[in-house]
Structure 1
């Protein structure tokens, strides 16, 4: 689970929910909340709740436009430094937008530099383009698919794949061994005249082959991190949030169960080489 899953709730509550739901660790998205930017605070929460910080998500969203300044090169540098300080093995980052020319020019080299400098994986995430009434808008400098980039680590997000009209199993196959990080969720393809929503549904609630991708990872003894990144309901309170977080966790454990039979009433898959956040 990541702090972005419970946004705008505070960071402490994210750790509390993750621990109560039974996760191995958390992914921290850097936001305006100062706690998400501060290594000592995050380490204290990690120790208090017994959860590893598995990954740091760089501040790349519209609502984080002014976090750590406007230079996205510096944002990525600080994200990598924060990850190293809290013991996270991965930084998740979106590819540059087309209008971020200086950032785009430096991006691939910067990803490699930071990976080597801090001994971690900077995993570039798949995104989406948008089409409506025959018009396609491609906002990313290198396109929405990072497979063509000379980057050693990539992130697969099922909701982004759905929004792009892509098949996640094909993406996972295309990424191959460079797939090192998964944002566990689901989504549906947008209708020609429908709204473009980055849905982040519970896994199994959309039309992406989520279980098939996890099965592919299981058969290859994959050892990355699976992060539940689902939109939780704004109403219904923590009981409903916990139910949905636990459902996402159970989905992943069923998919990674080593037996052919995976009964829904017994989601525990035992020891696993991947990590769940």
Structure 2
């Protein structure tokens, strides 16, 4: 069966150990660690200890690519990616998730695909480039990413498909998964509507089945071809007022994944 993991971002703003504890309680097979300003997310020994304490393997490391992690491991995005790969190797993860560069990261953006290919070949890890979405400022399109936000047209060996980002970009996630073929190695399980609120687009990360993306169809198709990649829940549970409510949201997400990845 396809392994189903949970991203540490699912329990934000709770701490790192809470992510392991709740993932274990919900029944996930493993975890993905988003590298943040929390030093424990950068520490192989601390992560390994938590992995062993909760008997949950670390499937993947998400490189620090958010604006809030701008100063984690310095300012050089190449160093951030290389250190993420080093961390993945130390904790036994097989995948590093990375976003395409911002256009203003000029040197890194120009060399990004070469860096990804070289790092994957040199480490044996899957450096899985995540699909993003177009930006709009003042109603006008802005080229925020370089070489772009759509990895289907990039020369990279591994891709992470994020359903919420598909919704924001107006892409059909089923068509994207089909187009990627064997390059699809990692899935961020969530959903989205691409909705607007006062002209702003929100990256919703809804629970699967609560948005408009064909999440169930994509999962069933992956199961039908005995796909050997990893699915990791990356859902927003910040509406939960209590721990039982948050756990119920996580359990619902896992149940959805299990129901649609059962062997046919």
| TM bracket, shorter-chain basis | over 0.9
Q: 1:67 & 1:125 partners in 2: Cα distance?
A: 20
Superposed displacement of residue 133, structure 1: 7.4
SS in structure 2 of the partner of residue 204 of structure 1: coil
Q: 1:192 & 1:131 partners in 2: Cα distance?
A: 13
User: Which runs of structure 1 show a deviation greater than 4 angstroms over 4 or more consecutive aligned residues?
Assistant: 131-134
Q: 1:234 & 1:203 partners in 2: Cα distance?
A: 15
1:160 pairs with one of 158, 162, 165: 165
Superposed displacement of residue 173, structure 1: 1.1
Q: Number of residues paired by the alignment?
A: 259
Contact 2:110–2:147 under 8 Å retained in 1: no
**For 1:18-58, what per-residue CA distance to the aligned partner results, in whole angstroms no more than 9, with x for missing partners?**
00110110000000001100000000000000000000000
2:24 pairs with one of 9, 19, 28: 19
2:95 pairs with one of 90, 97, 100: 90
Which residue is equivalent to 2:184? 179
Residue 142 (structure 2) pairs with residue 141 (structure 1): no
Residue 76 (structure 2) pairs with residue 68 (structure 1): no
Cα 1:142–1:242 change in 2 (3 A) is: same
Contact 1:15–1:26 under 8 Å retained in 2: yes
Residue 210 (structure 2) pairs with residue 205 (structure 1): yes
Which residue is equivalent to 1:36? 41
Cα 1:134–1:235 change in 2 (3 A) is: closer
* TM-score with structure 2 setting the length: 0.94
SS in structure 2 of the partner of residue 26 of structure 1: strand
Which residue is equivalent to 1:226? 231
Contact 2:164–2:194 under 8 Å retained in 1: no
Residue 60 (structure 2) pairs with residue 52 (structure 1): no
Q: Show structure 1 runs of 5+ residues with no match.
A: 260-277
* TM-score with structure 1 setting the length: 0.90
Contact 2:12–2:238 under 8 Å retained in 1: no
Q: 1:87 & 1:215 partners in 2: Cα distance?
A: 28
Q: 2:75 & 2:239 partners in 1: Cα distance?
A: 30
Q: Show structure 2 runs of 5+ residues with no match.
A: 1-5
Residue 135 (structure 2) pairs with residue 130 (structure 1): yes
Q: 1:258 & 1:47 partners in 2: Cα distance?
A: 29
Q: 2:44 & 2:86 partners in 1: Cα distance?
A: 9
Q: Which moved more, 1:146-155 or 1:178-187?
A: 146-155
SS in structure 2 of the partner of residue 176 of structure 1: helix
RMSD: 1.4
SS in structure 2 of the partner of residue 35 of structure 1: helix
Q: Which moved more, 1:130-139 or 1:235-244?
A: 130-139
Which residue is equivalent to 2:3? none
